[in-house]
Amino acid sequence: MSADNPTTEQVPSFCALCISRCGAIATVENGRFVALKPDPSHPTGQALCIKGRVAPELVYHPDRLLYPMKRTRPKGDADSGWQRISWDEALDTVAKKLTELSDQYGPETVAFNNASPSTSALSDSVDWIRRLRRAFGSPNHSISMELCGWGRYLANQYSFGVGLPADCMPDLENAGCILFWGYNPTVSRIAHATATVAAQKRGARLIVVDPRLAGLARKADQWLRVRPGSDGALALGLAHVMIDRGWYDEGFVRNWTNGPLLIRADNGRFLREQDLARSGAAENYLAWDQTDGRPVAYDPSLGSYAADNSKLALFGSFDIETLQGSVTCRPAFQLTTELCGRYDPKEVERITGVEADQVIRTAQMLWDARPVAYMAWSGLEQQSNATQIARAIGLVYALTGNFDAKGGNVQFPAAPSANIQGDDMLSAEQRAKTLGLADRPLGPSRFDHVTSAEIYRAILDHQPYAVRGLVSFGSNLLVAHADCERGREALAALDFHVHADLFMNPSAEMADIVLPTTSPFESEALKIGFEISEAACSLIQLRKKLVEPRGEARSDIQIIFDLACRLGFGQVFWDGDIDSAYRHQLAPSGVTLETLRENPAGVRVPLQTRYQKYAERTDNVPRGFDTPSRKVEFYSETFLKQGYPPLPDYEEPLVGPHSRPDLASRYPLILTCAKDSLYCESQHRGLPSLRRRALDPQVDLHPAAAAAREIGPGDWVIIETPKGRVRARARINEALDPQVVCGQHGWWQACPEIGAPGFEPFGPDSANFNLLIGHDDVDPVSGSVPLRAYVCEIKRLL
């Protein structure tokens, strides 16, 4: 190979920079990665965003971390005194410090943290991080679930027994109506954006709920400009219209939801057989047989009623003799209907700003254009009422009857693979120590996640015990999470902190040891299924290493395996042999590692989608749903027992113009934020091709709001909230509500190649949006932070 005889390779690959995992073709010339373009033959390869197209700039950026480093000066000094060290010294130091903390204080005092796999390349390794953390014995792992994932993965576990919509993906290829709520796939998952455009071309209708006219909202049949944080009221209003006008699947409601089950008026509990007779079964619920005029039993173990389902009452009020006397009872669907009835279209318009007629038109479209495929994103999750919003939209979706139906939200099949997350490695005793479990028993901690606020509290206040160590991969807590000042105090107070990353970001600056990681283009990684369709799920691909790592950078997976061996966990990490680990993971699929290396475009395994799996029977017992009643639960006794509303009633944002009128005069505007299409959260502002397109942080505001404050396009302004203040450049946006402004988070990195400055993460010149929001007013169930619905004022910077 020489300049006279250049070699050029076109390598099938996929971009791992965000959750879209777009299929791509990489161009490598003379051993140098020079281009990435879409691969239309790949199920996610119809397009590639600008971030993927400029990936070579990421790989060859001059500020990349290239060697392990250790701190030689105290935290808080202007000069950290970073000193280059060997990998052996780095790994030995990390293993020694973590072992000392575990031996002296317990493994739970070491927390693990990584960037969200939805917005980074951490999807390559997050399951292995979980395995390492569980082998170590720590129950504490923050992956930003309270900010990115709670609503779509976990909140509706209580209603459907599975994550909706993320674990039941929208079947866009067959949908008649597509509902995007707080989701802009043009920015967040371009594979969904291209699939939606294709669906519209064949006649599918599109509904977008978003405070901003952004992305596919411009092509929507209905764009609902909802007031930030009022989404729950809109969902209940849509449900009201659907129920009131008979635009709902009565058969699904009657047969597959807990709508017919009777609720006691005296205590809000479900009426059960044992309430009527001492010999009655405690686990059996009761419904009302409206033909015979009597209560009939429902046995959840059998998934069946002691009556014809068509005779069950969905509406009404019934006085029933119990062992404690006469008790008024009503079906859960009656209570659901009464709740929704409080949100008629006019009331919804008053609360949300969406016109009453548009609420009715949207409800009719959801019914007439079925099947409905639904997707939501962090626009709904960064709210102080995130849980009830997700449940309310889940209620709307249940009314369509399209769950796990062709063209609806489908649990697509997955290629068989071994679970490598180490579920059995963490004892029940250690799981019980998960931070936040006592305070929020139904929140992320129940699902093996903790929030950053819970980690900060444990570090600084030693509640419920002290966290003393942190192992972090690719995260930037001080820019990506709220309450940044407290975060800085917490990271400074740690006994030991190791951070693995591409760049020395503000959070890495607080570490004791920093480890250099490869980009996804310098490392091999295994992807089993691409989630968005049957065809995508059938693909197994081993992403080829395109070029050799720069400096001494190692992949996250290599670091995990090396550290596991140093910590004495080699036996459960295949003695550090990643190939052996991959072979174990692949074994159930029948696909070998050698076959994947011979076929870099991937190998497909035969899959067959089965619909309405909840109706499948074994020994004449339907599978049902993984909920206490084995039905979709409109009414949740689980919530009731923990003191939360059992129905998804609307709750005003905790810091908003209606809930906090005392703040209205000083902070008259509603503050929300949105992801920038050019950047992955707090990453990539150092890449010239991206930074040229957006030089400075911006805040969008309506012309009327700007004029009232004598603000012009491009003016530097101050955004001020009760929590803090930051600066940004004004951008005028006529499509916004005059009371709403929209900022951007993630600004810190400089781009010296084009003279674009960096921004201090703290202080008067900061552009760190998350300085504006604290952890004081959060969702009571999940701890989700209201980054998308707060109050502010904007002033021109003089």
Contacts of 213 (CB under 8 A, 6+ apart): 223, 225, 735
**Helix, strand, or coil here: 370?**
coil
pLDDT of residue 798: 84
What's the pLDDT score for residue 676?
86
CA distances from 434 to 104, 130, 455, 481, 641 (A): 18, 14, 10, 20, 21
**Mean per-residue pLDDT, 335-353:** 98
- 6 in Cβ contact with 30 (< 8 Å): yes
* Sequence-distant (≥ 6) Cβ neighbours of residue 439 within 8 angstroms: none
Burial of 239 (0-12, 13-18, 19+ CB in 10 A): buried
Q: What is the DSSP letter of 87?
A: H
Give how far Cα 493 sits from Cα of 74, 477, 486, Å.
Answer: 11, 15, 11
End-to-end C-alpha distance for the chain, whole angstroms: 59
Tell me the DSSP string of 128-169.
HHHHHHHHHT---EESSTTTTTIIIIIITHHHHSS-TTTTSE
- What tokens were used for 674? 């949105």
Q: Is 2 helix (H, G, I), strand (E, B) or coil?
A: coil
Answer whether residue 545 shows pLDDT above 70: yes
Helix/strand/coil (H/E/C) assignment for every residue in 7-74? CEEEEEEECCCCCCCCEEEEEEECCEEEEEEECCCCCCCCCCCHHHHCHHHHHCCCCCCCCCEECCCC
The answer to whether residue 6 scores a pLDDT higher than 80 is no
Q: Give the closest residue to 394 by CA, choosing from 641, 633, 221.
A: 633
Residue identified by tokens 């281009």 is: 35
pLDDT for 4 = 62
Q: What region, left, alpha or beta, does residue 69 occupy, with left being phi > 0 and alpha being psi -120 to 50 degrees? A: beta
Residue 119: pLDDT band by 50, 70, 90 thresholds?
A: confident
What local confidence, expressed as pLDDT, does residue 638 receive?
Answer: 98
> What string of DSSP letters covers 492-550?
HH-SEEEEEESS--TTGGG-SEEEEB--GGGS-EEEE--SSSHHHHTEEEEEPP-SPPS
Residue where the block lists tokens 């400075």: 696
CB atoms within 10 A of CB 691: 22
Band (pLDDT 50/70/90 cuts) for residue 780 is very high
Fill in the amino acid letter for 562. D
Q: pLDDT band at 680, cuts 50/70/90?
A: confident
Q: Which of 445, 472, 443 lies closest to 120, judged by CA?
A: 472
Instruction: Give the pair of three-digit tokens for residue 416.
Output: 């068989």
Q: Give CA–CA dist 563/548, Å, rounded.
A: 21
Q: Span 377-397, mean pLDDT?
A: 97
**In the prediction, which pLDDT does 681 show?**
86
CB count within 10 Å of CB 552 equals 15
Task: Report the alpha-carbon distance of residue 44 to residue 48 in Å, rounded.
Answer: 9
- pLDDT over 90 percentage in the chain: 97
Within a 10 A sphere around the Cβ of 31, how many other Cβ atoms?
11
Residues 338-346 have a mean pLDDT of 98
Burial 565-599 (b: 16+ CB within 10 A, else e): bbbebeebbbebebeebbeebbeebebeeeebeee
Cis peptide before 371 (omega within 30 of 0): yes
Cβ neighbours for 38, distance < 8 A, ≥ 6 positions apart? 22, 23, 24, 25, 45, 46, 47, 48
Would you state the pLDDT for residue 256? 98
Which token pair is 14?
Answer: 């996929």
Q: What is the mean pLDDT of residues 725-751?
A: 97
For the residues 277-302, what does the mean pLDDT come to?
A: 96
d(CA 430, CA 729): 48
**Any residues with CB less than 8 A from the CB of 421 and at least 6 apart, and which?**
127, 130, 131, 134
pLDDT given for residue 2 in this prediction: 53
Measured distance CA(631)–CA(513) in Å, rounded: 50
Q: Percentage of the chain with pLDDT > 70?
A: 99
Cβ 283 vs Cβ 300: under 8 Å = yes
The continuous run of DSSP H or E covering 742 comes out as strand 740-743
- At 5, the pLDDT band (50, 70, 90 cuts) reads low
Where does 635-693 have alpha helices with state H?
637-641, 688-691
Distance of alpha carbon 67 from alpha carbon 90, whole angstroms: 10
- Mean pLDDT for the stretch of residues 769-789: 97
Distance CA(404)–CA(431), nearest Å, equals 32
> Torsion-angle region of residue 677: left (phi > 0), alpha (psi -120 to 50) or beta?
alpha
The encoded tokens of residue 415 equal 């290629």
Beta pairing class for 32-38 and 294-299 = unpaired
pLDDT one-digit tens code per residue, 194-220: 999 999 999 999 999 999 999 999 999
Question: Which residues pair with residue 535 across a beta bridge?
Answer: none
- Tell me the pLDDT tens digit for each residue of 474-508: 999 999 999 999 999 999 999 999 999 999 999 99
**430 Cβ contact partners less than 8 Å away, ≥ 6 residues apart:** 107, 108, 137, 138, 139
Residues in CB range of 550: below 8 A, 6 or more apart: 59, 60, 64, 66, 518, 522
- At 128-155, the pLDDT tens digits run 999 999 999 999 999 999 999 999 999 9
pLDDT tens, position by position, 449-472:
999 999 999 999 999 999 999 999
53-103 tens-digit pLDDT: 999 999 999 999 999 999 999 998 889 999 999 999 999 999 999 999 999
Tell me the pLDDT tens digit for each residue of 218-246.
Answer: 999 999 999 999 999 999 999 999 999 99
* pLDDT at residue 534 tops 90: yes
Q: Is the pLDDT of residue 789 over 90?
A: yes
Strand 617-618 relative to strand 318-322, pairing: unpaired
Arithmetic mean of pLDDT over the chain: 97
- Those residues whose C-beta lies under 8 Å from the C-beta of residue 594, and which sit 6 or more positions away, are none
**Nearest in space to 446 (alpha carbons), one of 116, 645, 129, 157:** 157
- Give 242: exposed, middle or buried? Use CB within 10 Å, 0-12, 13-18, 19+: buried
**Burial level of 755, CB count in 10 A (0-12/13-18/19+)?**
exposed
Task: Please check the confidence at residue 3 and state whether its pLDDT lies above 60.
Answer: no
pLDDT at 414 over 80: yes
Spell out the SS3 assignment of 199-268. HHHCCCEEEEECCCCCHHHHHCCEEECCCCCCHHHHHHHHHHHHHHCCCCCHHHHHHHECCCEEEECCCC
Cβ 348 vs Cβ 233: under 8 Å: yes
Distances (CA, A) of 212 to 222, 281, 633, 742: 13, 52, 32, 9
The packing angle between helices 87-105 and 556-566, to 10°, is 60
Residues 6+ apart with CB under 8 A from 5: none
Structure tokens at 146: 């309270």
Residue 55: CB partners within 8 Å, gap ≥ 6? Answer: 15, 17, 33, 36, 519, 521
Q: Are 229 and 383 in contact (CB under 8 A)?
A: yes
| Dist. CA 584–CA 571, nearest whole Å | 14
C-alpha span between 352 and 349 (Å, rounded): 5
The secondary structure element, H or E, covering residue 410 is: strand 409-410
pLDDT band at 606 (very low <50, low <70, confident <90, very high): very high
